[in-house]
Amino acid sequence: MREELLTIIEKNSRIDLKELAVILGVEEIDIVNEIAAMEAEGVICGYHTLINWDKTSVDKVTALIEVRVTPQKGQGFDIIAEKIYRYPEVRSVYLISGGYDLMVILEGKTLREVSTFVSEKLSALDTVISTATHFILKKYKDHGTVFKTKSDDEREMITP
Amino acid sequence: MRNPLADKVVDIKPSGIRKFFDIVSEMEDAISLGVGEPDFDTPWHIRAEGINSLEKGKTFYTSNSGLIELRREICNYMKRRQGITYDPAHEVLITVGGSEAIDIGLRAMLNPGDEVLIPQPSYVSYEPCAVLAGGTPVIINLKAENEFRLTAKELEDAITDRTKVLILPFPNNPTGAIMERKDLEAIAEIVIKHDIFVMSDEIYSELTYKEEHVSIASLPGMQERTVVINGFSKAYAMTGWRLGYACGPRVILEQMTKIHQFAIMCAPTTSQYAAVDALRNGDEDIRMMRDSYNQRRRFLMNAFRQMGLECFEPYGAFYVFPCIKEFGMTSDEFATRFLEEEKVAAVPGTAFGDCGEGFLRISYAYSLEKLKIAIGRLEHFVKRLRAEQGR
């Protein structure tokens, strides 16, 4: 049940527990227990809302920053990653294979705010060798969801 | 002027669905529970392969039987899912949808007057195709108390010395019924005993919600007397690609291929390339869609229970077949009033055979959100009918 449950709530965390029980063919109490267990185990880490900020009056800038660093002896990348992710404006930090080491996703109000962060905070860390900042111009799809209004059902109304 | 028409064709009565289709298309805000095709788009990787084949200029006829790599993938699939071994060179034919395979399969097997056993309720084309092929359709009326499965007794009672072919339409459209291994074993025994052939329409084989689908062709002694029909429409949400196939004994497939060669030439080339990718990389898509259908199926069964509407639990396809006999109306009257008063289109059970009287086909090839709206209206309608009847 766990995998199917996760697949559903990953797309819709607001789904009613009663409805979940019905469509999964189990008792509601089992759903409650399973979700509680997964929260305790850290499988479920939060319940977020996917927002297309472009459609609001709020200005936001998102940047993907490639960061090359010198790994610390004995601790690898973890310490430097932590130094970066503790900044609240940092949305995500990933350790990456390939041409650079860390992928940092940063959200700010303006381009200036983001560039200030990169030049004054990120580059100032002594293990950071170099950074390359890419600003996101348009979000087409995020978290598996396409930011476009769906077209109507194009099927014939009745077919055998 | 002489009558330009063939009596045999004129005598075929038009599909019972047509009338509803006409009413619905006039209504602006009607919603539907009446479709017989998936609501999912064809998975992107499959579409991309179709596009890719066009870009590479693969726009010619394929061999009559279909691309050999597609026939090989179908054989791999039949082996891995059903444990049946087919020879891709002689025992597989790619057709324009499963529908073409039904048509030419019957034409290849029937002599004038040969009887074709057609269990109903079932898909609308078996009976007319049997007639057009010169056969005589013999209807077996399936029963709700058997969950609309075909029993060995029902089969044996219908067999005469003219019986040639049994059509086995499971998982079933419109009832959602399945046949499990034990059910099929009983059928196979009768089929072998009376030396008849089976056309097993397994187009919904990937959509079962109890045990994995079992093909009757996988039972001992049955492969040599069974034509299995399947296709890409339901499993991979590829209805518009018009691609199906038949697997069966070489003697029958050779004759089917001959008709196909003269009448069709070959199935659409683009669709065939896309289908190769579907069989190689589509298992995960099937699983995802099957899980979704199953969730909706449970939702509907629960909704029927709550509104006290009688319905056996179907374990296949994407249809439920609730009983509406308590309202004292025909299926047609019920469906017409449901459409006119609640603006929801569902197909009367009688569109799939006379024994569908008293039932309604509800498709769950719709998102849960849409089903909730439609079922809300059904509940409203049912309550009103009961109130009218002073219940």
Q: Look at residues B280, B295, B326 and tell me which one is the last residue of a structural domain.
A: B280
Same-domain check for residues A74 and A118:
yes
pLDDT at residue A148, as a whole number: 84
Same-domain check for residues B199 and B254:
yes
- Please determine, for residue A1, whether its predicted confidence score (pLDDT) is greater than 90: no
Is residue B172 classed as helix, strand or coil in its secondary structure?
A: coil
Among B24, B125, B292, B302, the strongest candidate for a mutation testing the A interface, having the largest count of A CBs within 10 A, is: B302
Number of helices (H) and strands (E) in chain B: give both, helices first. 13, 12
**In total, how many domains does chain B have?**
2
Identify the domain containing residue B325 by its residue range.
Answer: 7-42+284-379
- Please determine, for residue A160, whether its predicted confidence score (pLDDT) is greater than 80: yes
Same-domain check for residues B234 and B316:
no
Same-domain check for residues B199 and B331:
no
Inter-chain residue contact B37 with A155, CB threshold 8 Å:
yes
**In total, how many domains does chain A have?**
2
Same-domain check for residues B218 and B301:
no
Same-domain check for residues A108 and A67:
yes
Residue partners of B358: CB distance under 8 A and separation at least 6: B323, B324, B325, B330, B331, B349
Quickly state the pLDDT bin for B17 (edges 50, 70, 90).
confident
Same-domain check for residues A8 and A60:
no
Residue A97: Cβ within 10 Å count: 6
Average pLDDT rounded to a whole number, residues A38-49 = 96
The pair phi, psi for residue B237, each rounded to 5°, is 55, 55
Q: Look at residues B245, B265, B280 and tell me which one is the last residue of a structural domain.
A: B280
For chain B, percent of residues with pLDDT exceeding 90:
95
Same-domain check for residues B265 and B306:
no
Average pLDDT rounded to a whole number, residues A32-61 = 94
Same-domain check for residues A97 and A71:
yes
pLDDT in tens, B172-181: 999 999 999 9
- Of B10-19, B79-88, B235-244, the poorest mean pLDDT is in B10-19
Q: Look at residues B216, B249, B280 and tell me which one is the last residue of a structural domain.
A: B280
Same-domain check for residues B137 and B194:
yes
Same-domain check for residues A129 and A67:
yes
Residue B194: Cβ within 10 Å count: 14
CA dihedral B344, B345, B346, B349 (to 10 degrees): 130
Average pLDDT rounded to a whole number, residues A124-148 = 92
pLDDT at residue A76, as a whole number: 84
Q: Is residue B389 part of a domain?
A: no
Same-domain check for residues B109 and B208:
yes
Which chain A positions have a beta carbon within 8 Å of B97's beta carbon? none
Same-domain check for residues A92 and A113:
yes
Residue partners of B116: CB distance under 8 A and separation at least 6: B106, B110, B126, B130, B135, B136, B137, B138, B164, B165, B166, B167
Same-domain check for residues A126 and A63:
yes
DSSP string, A94-111: EE-SSS-SEEEEEEESSH
Distance in angstroms between the alpha carbons of the first and the last residue of chain B: 60
Identify the domain containing residue A30 by its residue range.
Answer: 2-40
Same-domain check for residues A77 and A128:
yes
Inter-chain residue contact B35 with A156, CB threshold 8 Å:
yes
Give the Cα-Cα-Cα angle A99, A102, A104 (nearest 5 degrees). 125
User: What residue type is assigned to position A91 of the chain?
Assistant: R
- Please determine, for residue A72, whether its predicted confidence score (pLDDT) is greater than 80: no
Q: Is residue B388 part of a domain?
A: no
Q: For residue B24, give the nearest of A23, A158, A160 by CB distance.
A: A158
Among A18, A158, A159, the strongest candidate for a mutation testing the B interface, having the largest count of B CBs within 10 A, is: A158
Average pLDDT rounded to a whole number, residues B55-79 = 98
Report the distance separating Cα A61 and Cα A63, nearest Å: 7
Quickly state the pLDDT bin for B207 (edges 50, 70, 90).
very high
Q: Is residue B250 part of a domain?
A: yes
Same-domain check for residues A28 and A64:
no
pLDDT at residue B369, as a whole number: 94
pLDDT at residue A151, as a whole number: 76
ipTM, two decimals: 0.86
Same-domain check for residues B137 and B250:
yes
C-alpha distance from B302 to closest chain A C-alpha (Å): 7
pLDDT in tens, B35-47: 999 999 999 999 9
Same-domain check for residues B11 and B64:
no
- Please determine, for residue B384, whether its predicted confidence score (pLDDT) is greater than 80: yes
Q: Is residue B386 part of a domain?
A: no
Q: Is residue A109 part of a domain?
A: yes
Average pLDDT rounded to a whole number, residues A123-129 = 92
- Of A75-84, B51-60, B102-111, the poorest mean pLDDT is in A75-84
Q: For residue B34, give the nearest of A23, A24, A158 by CB distance.
A: A158
| CATH code of the domain containing B144 | 3.40.640.10
Average pLDDT rounded to a whole number, residues B291-315 = 97
Which chain B positions have a beta carbon within 8 Å of A23's beta carbon? 295-296, 298-299, 368
- Please determine, for residue B153, whether its predicted confidence score (pLDDT) is greater than 90: yes
pLDDT at residue A74, as a whole number: 77
Mean pLDDT score of chain B, rounded to an integer? 96
Residues 247-306 on B with a CB inside 8 Å of A are: 291, 295-296, 298-299, 302
